[in-house]
Amino acid sequence: ILNVEQSPQSLHVQEGDSTNFTCSFPSSNFYALHWYRWETAKSPEALFVMTLNGDEKKKGRISATLNTKEGYSYLYIKGSQPEDSATYLCASNSGNTPLVFGKGTRLSVIA
């Protein structure tokens, strides 16, 4: 059974700090890696879908990298803002199978 691990579980940062989270997944038979942001009382929203080793994607102050050979992805947030407070979920799959999610990293940005 595919296992996706995320660290840290939770994180508190000051407004303006930059931060990063880790997602690890099995590298064998890798298909895709997804990052989602889940704000309280809202639905999870996709940030990135990544498939290629070495891929880097960016959306505003948020970026992600992917290493499929060693089975990890990093999510970076530059200059954190209070509105970045959310749970960040990583998910992966092997072959064209349903995504398996990690437990998420809960980020709190303190103004």
Partner 1 sequence: DTGVSQDPRHKITKRGQNVTFRCDPISEHNRLYWYRQTLGQGPEFLTYFQNEAQLEKSRLLSDRFSAERPKGSFSTLEIQRTEQGDSAMYLCASSFKGDGELFFGEGSRLTVL
Residues lying near partner 1 in the complex (CB under 8 A): 4, 6, 31-32, 34, 36, 41-46, 49, 51, 89, 91, 96-104
Min CB(58)–partner 1 separation in Å:
16
Minimum CB–partner distance for residue 67 and partner 1 (Å): 19
Give every CB contact of residue 57 below 8 A, 6+ residues apart in sequence. Answer: 48, 50, 63, 64
Bin 79: left if φ > 0, else alpha if -120 < ψ < 50, else beta: left
Q: Which residue lies nearer to partner 1 by CB, 75 or 91?
A: 91
**DSSP structure string for 1-41:** ----EEE-SEEEEETT--EEEEEE---TTEEEEEEEEE-TT
Nearer to partner 1, 31 or 76 (CB): 31
For partner 1, the closer of residues 14 and 103 by Cβ is 103
In whole angstroms, the minimum distance from the beta carbon of 64 to partner 1 comes to 13
Q: Which amino acid is at 25?
A: F
